[in-house]
Amino acid sequence: MGSSYIGRQPIVNERGALFAYDLFSSAQNASEHATETLVNDLQSSFGIDKIIGKRLGFIRADHQFIFHELFGLLPKERIVYAVLEESVVDKELCDSLEKLRGQGYRFALNDFAYTPENIEKFSPLFPYLEYVKIDIPRSPRIKREDVEQLKQQGLSVIGAKIESHDIHAQCVAKGFSYFQGYFISKPKVLENPSFSLDQTAVIQLWNMLQSDADIDALVKAFELNHMVSLKLIRFVNSAVFALRNPVSSVRHVLTLMGREPLARWIMLLMFSEAKESDQNNIPLMLMVVNRTELMTQLLLLIKPNATESQKATAYFVGMLSLIHLLFNIPHREALKKLNVTPEIERALFEGDGFYGELLTTVRSIEMLDTEGIDKFLEKHSLEHEVLEPLIASAMEKVNQFDEAMG
């Protein structure tokens, strides 16, 4: 029997800024005790701070769990318990929620279909809830007036299972407060995409770092792009990188760090600074950190003595797998802007070779696809337990970036 893994999906506000994480276990659909397992893992194996950082965490809770001895084990100011749609709404549940709400515990109604029948069923719970999560695919007829009525009862309304940017835009128009779904990880393709000056400059600098340009040429190129240089130095001096002594010049950065690390941070800078008016790039930046961290950690799991070049390749495959989300253009078109090797391109599009295998496994981890994870572990004769600290470590790294980005 395999292990259960903790997953999380971002919940964002109308501007696209990260608000909370919906937490779930790979055993969520396979075990009636999945919530208990998740809570126990959050409390003992991982620690809540490692998993959600400074954000709120939403945890599914059925009727029975509300009365379970594990309820209340996690800090109540950090967790929102989302009551399941199939829960029995009776006096016992209402009385319990009222009492717990009075003690400071927080509740939501988990992904439910907005229907007259469900509104009638769950309305007795509304006085004790802070949030309601609407299952968007099962609520096609919900209107702005319906959302407003929920808000008038003191509820924040979350649109869940939003699969496209068009549906997200409809939910914004209907007055939803927060949004959750895979639309965040899908490109929002523009008809006439253009690159900002900063993006173009960063791409040119990154290409120079990948070429044989000497240090004097690199320093000159940076000095011609003052804003990029200032942002880079500020970024490298942040607490994320924990440098012993702060850097004060591009030449200092280059000689201290070397080309490969600087190229990594250059690309991260592009993700973090692009389209500053669009807060949606913050969850994207955190996705990049998570994926690159998992890529390099999986590499080291299989090849503990991996070279710097191998680690750099794993890192860039992870990063470039998301580059099209930054530019809002088709993936292959985005890669044309960069000097990408055929090996990396095959890994990205065909899942080919060792790095393609790593990327496929990382995507399985992100989706909590246990079949894909098991396939990787079996191939390399690994136990499930080796992945748990690796996944938690990647989440913790994401939380550090989230903290540094304010």
pLDDT by residue (tens digit) across 155-213?
Answer: 999 999 999 889 999 999 999 999 999 887 765 554 444 455 466 777 778 778 877 78
Q: Enumerate the β-bridge partners of residue 159.
A: 134, 179
- The per-residue pLDDT for 112 is 94
pLDDT category of residue 238 using cuts at 50, 70 and 90: low
Residue type, 317: V
Q: Do 49 and 21 touch, CB atoms closer than 8 A?
A: no
CA angle 315, 316, 317 (to 5 degrees): 95
Choose the final residue of a domain: 185, 207, 238: 185
C-beta of residue 8 within 8 angstroms of C-beta of residue 51 = yes
Question: Which of 162, 185, 208 delimits the end of a domain?
Answer: 185
Residue 142 has pLDDT above 90, yes or no: yes
Mean pLDDT check: name the lowest of 56-65, 194-203, 226-235: 194-203
- 248 and 140 both lie in a single domain: no
Does the pLDDT value for residue 81 go beyond 90? yes
Residue 405: band (very low, low, confident or very high) from pLDDT cuts 50, 70, 90: low
Query: Residue 190: inside a domain, yes or no?
Result: no
Pair 249, 226: CB distance under 8 Å? no
Residue 10 — very low, low, confident or very high, per pLDDT cuts 50/70/90?
Answer: very high
Angle formed at CA 377 by CA 371 and CA 381, multiple of 5 degrees: 145
Query: Which region holds residue 252: left if phi is over 0, alpha if psi is between -120 and 50, else beta?
Result: alpha
- Asked whether residue 192 is domain-assigned, the answer is no
Q: What is the pLDDT of residue 182?
A: 85
- pLDDT tens per residue across span 255-297: 777 777 777 777 776 666 554 444 456 787 888 889 999 999 9
Q: How many beta carbons lie within 10 A of that of residue 282, not counting itself?
A: 21
Lowest mean per-residue pLDDT among 24-28, 97-101, 130-134, 194-198: 194-198
Clarify whether residues 226 and 310 are in a common domain: yes
CATH code of 201's domain: 1.10.3210.10
Q: Among 80-94, 207-221, 390-404, whose mean pLDDT is lowest?
A: 207-221
Is the same domain home to 119 and 249? no
Do 180 and 209 lie in one domain? The reply is no
In a domain, 270, yes or no: yes
What is the model's pLDDT at position 121? 95
Residue 214 makes CB contacts below 8 A (sequence gap 6+) with: none
Same domain? 206 vs 141: no
DSSP H or E stretch at residue 80: strand 79-83
Whole-angstrom Cα distance, residue 351 to residue 282? 27
> Do residues 260 and 133 both lie within one domain?
no
Residues in a beta bridge with 79 = 57
CA distance 139 to 145: 14
Q: What distance separates the 2 farthest-apart alpha carbons in the chain?
A: 75
User: Among 51-60, 80-89, 235-244, which is the least confidently predicted range?
Assistant: 235-244
Name the residue range of residue 246's domain: 197-404
Same domain, 50 and 144: yes
pLDDT for the residue 406: 60
Please determine, for residue 312, whether its predicted confidence score (pLDDT) is greater than 50.
yes
Asked whether residue 385 falls in the same domain as residue 257, the answer is yes
Domain count, the chain: 2
Q: Give the per-residue pLDDT at 188.
A: 58
Distance CA 368, CA 376 (A): 13
On whether both 228 and 175 belong to a single domain, the answer is no
Is there a domain that residue 14 lies in? yes
329 pLDDT band (50/70/90 cuts)? confident
Per-residue confidence (pLDDT) for residue 134, from 0 to 100: 97
Mean pLDDT, all residues of the chain: 83
For residue 176, tell me if it sits in a domain: yes
**Quick one: pLDDT at residue 7?**
86
Residue 203 and residue 338 in contact, taking contact as beta carbons nearer than 8 Å? yes
Nearest Cα neighbor of 342 from 353, 331, 334, 333 is 353
What pLDDT shows up at residue 34?
73
Q: Do the domain assignments include residue 1?
A: no
Indicate which CATH number applies to the domain containing 176. 3.20.20.450
Residues 107 and 204 occupy one common structural domain: no
Identify the pLDDT of residue 3. Answer: 61
* pLDDT at res. 33: 66
For residue 65, what are the CA distances in angstroms to 34, 48, 81, 86? Answer: 10, 19, 10, 13
Q: State what percent of residues in the chain have pLDDT above 70.
A: 83
Q: How many CB atoms lie within 10 A of CB 250?
A: 24
Domain boundary among 130, 156, 185: 185
Q: Which two tokens stand for residue 113?
A: 């279909």
Q: Tell me the C-alpha distance between 274 and 103, whole Å.
A: 43
Name the residue with tokens 């992100």: 366
